[in-house]
Structure 1
């Protein structure tokens, strides 16, 4: 794993925290389903975007499809790409 590759377990924790643990980190790590299909609401996605921006120093576009249609593996790749691009 490179220095810019986000830790999947940490991303799952951030998603779980954004949902107030309505969706657990274990459920998120064990799934390839889109976050919305797991029960992550639009408000939770907003909270997740804020957490990702703080944690990784990136800028997340709330209209970004990776937040809405990707599962955790796709989100990890997207965060890595944004980190490598230096979107701040």
Structure 2
């Protein structure tokens, strides 16, 4: 497991107050909502990602679907954001 996946999984656990376990976050192949994450949890996760990674995500239109799916989809999204220089 790489450090970024672990870091993101830890943020998922914190954003859900432990409703989603570290193991479930890392193994998830279904959207976080199927594991019990609420819309509040998603917003807490986005805030945590911005704080932890030192980035600001543009959410003016809508929340990118990648941020609500899996640890791997978030990692891919963050790599794309980083490559685009946003």
TM-score by length of 1: 0.80
User: Which residues in structure 2 correspond to 1:2-41 (within 5 Å)?
Assistant: 7-41=4-38
Aligned residues: 82
Runs of 4+ in 1 over 6 A off after TM superposition: none
Q: 1:56 to 1:6 in 2, by over 3 A?
A: farther
Query: 5+ unaligned residues in a row in structure 2: which ranges?
Result: none
- 2:48 pairs with 1:51: yes
Query: 5+ unaligned residues in a row in structure 1: which ranges?
Result: none
1:79 is matched with 78
| Per-residue deviation, 1:83 | 2.4
- 2:64 pairs with 1:64: yes
